[in-house]
Amino acid sequence: MLLGLLTWALPSLLLLVWFAPSRLREARRLAQARDAVRSADPARRRLLALRAALILPDEVLFRHSSDPAGDLLRGRFEPLAAAQLEALGLKGDGTVP
């Protein structure tokens, strides 16, 4: 019985120690992003759009807007904010797809 328990517990414990910290970080990151998105503050949408315009690859931006820079200049933040949310692994309402 002890040998069976060790055969199960040791690999399980090793996997838990290996994967749990990264899964917890990912869950915390998604929760923070979700909370930021659910806020109705227009400044947060602007910040998401600006972040998207600065760091996301062109392929991602052009999937959401035909003119990302123009959208940013005109104050149309929703397409770029949606691109940033997609990069964070969230839908537009802040939920995980």
Domain contains 83: yes
Please tell me the pTM assigned to this model: 0.62
What's the pLDDT score for residue 68? 93
Nearest by Cα to 64 from 29, 39, 25, 92: 92
- DSSP readout, the chain? -HHHHHHHHHHHHHHHHHHHHHHHHHHHHHHHHHHHHHS--HHHHHHHHHHHHHHS-HHHHHHH-S-HHHHHHHT--HHHHHHHHHHHT--TTS---
Domain contains 44: yes
Sign of CA dihedral 64, 66, 70, 76: negative
Domain contains 81: yes
Domain contains 70: yes
Domain contains 94: no
Look at the chain and report how many structural domains it folds into: 1
Domain contains 8: yes
Per residue in 33-86, pLDDT tens?
777 767 667 888 888 899 999 999 999 999 999 999 999 999 999 899 889 888
Tell me the CB-side half-sphere exposure of residue 65, using CA atoms within 13 A: 24
Tokens of 82: 């949606």
Domain contains 22: yes
Domain contains 20: yes
Range of the domain at 57: 2-88
